A and B are shown apart, each in its own frame.
Chain A
Amino acid sequence: MSDPTPLVVQFSAVSKTFGDVKAVNRISFEIRRGEFFSILGPSGCGKTTTLRLLAGFDEPDDDGGEVRLLGEVVNTRRPYERQIGMVFQSYALFPHLSVERNVGFGLEQRKTPRTEIGTRVRKALEMVRLAPDTFTRRMPAQLSGGQRQRVALARALVLNPAILLLDEPLGAVDLKVRKEMQLELKALNQQLGTTFVYVTHDQEEALTMSDRIAVMDNGLVAQLGTPAEIYENPRTAFVAKFIGESNFFGGRVVRRSGGALELALARGECIRVPDSPTIKEGQKVQIAVRPEWMDVCRPADVPAGENGLAGEIRDVIYLGETMHVMVTLKDGNEVTVALRNEGQLIKPLPWKRGDTAAVAWLPEDCQILEEA
């Protein structure tokens, strides 16, 4: 009993192959009780297969590792034997059943007494903020997208599952409802103590709601960590590109000095990056820098101790909250710098297309990337 929060989901070297495509390739991760865990990635990355392995719609390959739920190996257990809840992207409400019968469907399967079904259905509808008196008798076709999603959520939650799987549940609702539901889902997760496993391709959504995120790419877990770890310390170029925006630089380590590595870029300019024990002198490395951690200045004004690379302003883009300054460096590399918009009418940025300028940033804001 050393770990106070038991593991509810354990994937150990799980593989799933369709034909000759490895949809999921020896992935391992664990999810703790009560966590809001997101699986994030572009389409085709294996996130849906991972969820389907969890739900039991697909089984791992014969030599494809172990899926454990609440400590038990469930590789070949059918979905109806797993006691999990699931919310589908398409809602998957039964069109021939009323809201009440939809929400009560799982309880009916469990031979729950009729009166108890009634009370629990009402409670579940209240939990997702649908007035039972208004909605129990309605058919799914009479509901809006957001209401259907709430019914689908109530239908899964009414069974008090240990784990709730959500497959891009907010993909089809409009922006306003989506924002609202994001906060409600997060609140439900905390209030009920249910483990949420949330599959999405929307990085902002994952960052907003999750305790931890598994970023998937090409059937592998590219990185697993808290939103801050994923955003601020992306381990691979894929993660740095998929979550937020990044500027990339590639170079060779020329020397170690004063707790930093000196990197020679293609055209011979040198930049400094934080030291990392695994990197040897002479090694080629790629680094990423977030646009908002960089600044634009005149080439002569690069602050001491900062990296500076000269180039030409290609464009200044007005985005409201921020201004994006695009700079073409001398080696042709395009760099985007995000600056806070302090009011272009009062205090406009002094840059326009064609100006000579430099981008500058602190060595510690460089993230050294692993080879993917």
Chain B
Amino acid sequence: MVAGRLPDPGGSLTRPPRERLLGWLHRRPEAQAWGLLGPGVFWLVAFFLIPLLIMFAYSVMPRGEYGGVERGFTLESYQRFFVPIYLTILIRTFVVSIACTAICLVLGYPVAYAIARSGRWKNLLLFLVVLPFWTSFLVRTFAMIFLMRDTGLINTWLLKLGVISQPLTILYTPFSVMAGLVYGFLPFMILPIYASLEKLDNSLLEAAEVLGARPAARFRQVTLPLSLPGVVAGCLLVFIPALGSFLTSDLLGGAKQLMIGNLVQNQFASARNWPFGSAASFILMALVLAAVMIYLRMRDAAPAGR
């Protein structure tokens, strides 16, 4: 050792850089956290937050003649939204989305319950639930057209069996839109409810039973309240995308079942009114945010601990 030089207790100068980096990270948990968060945060800022801000800027700028926007500031796009025709679309969007969520809940809860108690079939059944995701939603929606159109599978069979003499009009009705939405979103309801039912401790159910709870009371007082987090998650996962959906109502609803998603899409594509499309998006977003906050507030206020 050279005289006068301080000893290097940790050997930090002689260790390879990789080890030094790991050692440094180990001593600084906040650096670790940023390291883990960094890539995701970068992605969201670059491809979500910034585009969102651009959209917001567009929504308060005058419309360009051939699409795009011009310099200036105006609230015209927002004012334009509050006329009966657009408000009807807005209300329809909410009604359809709420109905879709409710139907998914009614259909999905029993399925999730059955899967959670299906023992060794569990993995197979879960696999079947996510199987549709292997094909594009667009392709599956077209398949539903083939199923429901006048010369489609349903009508052909009903005619053959002599149940009907004239083809039923199924496609391009509120029913076909709802069928498509429920079909598309059902797995998002089933999976979170399944997750919360699956981790439900069986001894709680046994305890309820031995304390005198019959099956119905046991479900109402133990199973259902303990699966509520899954129900809430499922409802949000269905309701929010349903509000913004446009593909299903476009393909299965024709022009008659316009939802706000279709309106936004039209403004950006054929109508070339970017500011109005942006404004409609932001109005929807504000309403979703408000709806979710009211919902969560209600849930937290619900009798959980009394």
Contacts and interface: CB of A to CB of B under 8 A. Distances in A.
Contacts of B221: 105
Contact of A106 (B203, B211, B222, B225): B211
Interface residues on B, range: 20 to 34
A94 B222 contact: yes
Given A90-B201, A92-B206, A80 B305 contact: no
B223 to A, nearest CB: 11
Interface stretch (A81-89, A194-202, A276-284, A331-339): A81-89
B209 A92 contact: no
B290 interface: no
Contacts of B226: 94-96
B217 interface: yes
A79 B204 contact: no
Given A101-B306, A139-B305, A94 B210 contact: no
Nearest to B205: A92
A79 B210 contact: yes
A56 B211 CA distance: 12
B2 interface: no
A98 interface: yes
A97 B212 CA distance: 17
A110 interface: yes
Contacts of B212: 80, 106, 109-110, 159
B213 interface: yes
Contacts of B107: none
Nearest to A109: B212
A88 B205 CA distance: 12
A109 B305 contact: no
Nearest to A139: B305
A109 B217 CA distance: 8
Contacts of B210: 55-56, 79-80, 82, 84-86
B211 A105 contact: yes
A290 interface: no
**Which of B210, B222, B306 is most buried by chain A, counting CB atoms within 10 A of its CB?**
B210
Interface residues on A, range: 20 to 34
Contacts of A155: 207, 211
A253 B233 CA distance: 75
Contacts of A82: 210
Contacts, number: 67
Interface in A259-309: none
Contact of A80 (B204, B214, B306): B214
B306 A98 contact: yes
Contacts of B204: 92, 94-95
A105 B209 CA distance: 11
B102 interface: no
**Which of A93, A106, A156 is most buried by chain B, counting CB atoms within 10 A of its CB?**
A106
A57 interface: yes
Interface string A52-90: 000111000000000000000000001110101110111
Interface in A137-180: 139, 155-156, 159
A159 B207 contact: no
Contacts of A98: 305-306
Contacts of B217: 109
B3 interface: no
Interface string B206-245: 1111111110010001100110000000000000000000
Contacts of A156: 211
Interface in B280-305: 304-305
A109 B304 contact: no
Contact of A88 (B207, B214, B304): B207
A110 B222 CA distance: 16
B305 A96 contact: yes
A78 B209 contact: yes
B230 to A, nearest CB: 13
A79 B206 contact: yes
Nearest to A83: B212
A106 B203 CA distance: 15
A342 B197 CA distance: 60
A90 B203 contact: yes
B56 to A, nearest CB: 41
A96 B225 contact: yes
**Which of A56, A92, A156 is most buried by chain B, counting CB atoms within 10 A of its CB?**
A92
A96 B209 contact: no
A184 to B, nearest CB: 21
A79 B305 contact: no
Given A92-B203, A96-B305, A80 B209 contact: yes
A118 to B, nearest CB: 13
A47 B208 CA distance: 22
A80 B213 contact: yes
**Which of A55, A80, A84, A155 is most buried by chain B, counting CB atoms within 10 A of its CB?**
A80
A92 B201 contact: yes
Nearest to A138: B305
B203 A88 contact: yes
Nearest to A155: B211
B222 to A, nearest CB: 6
Nearest to B209: A79
A139 B210 CA distance: 21
A218 B304 CA distance: 44
Nearest to B211: A106
A151 to B, nearest CB: 12
Interface of B: 201, 203-204, 206-214, 217, 221-222, 225-226, 304-306
Interface of A: 55-57, 78-80, 82, 84-86, 88-90, 92-98, 101, 105-106, 109-110, 139, 155-156, 159
Closest 3 CB pairs of A and B: A109-B212, A106-B211, A92-B207
30 contacts: A55-B206, A55-B210, A56-B210, A57-B206, A80-B212, A82-B210, A84-B210, A85-B210, A86-B206, A86-B207, A86-B210, A88-B203, A88-B207, A89-B203, A90-B203, A92-B204, A92-B206, A94-B207, A94-B222, A95-B204, A96-B225, A97-B305, A98-B306, A105-B221, A109-B213, A109-B214, A110-B212, A139-B305, A155-B207, A156-B211
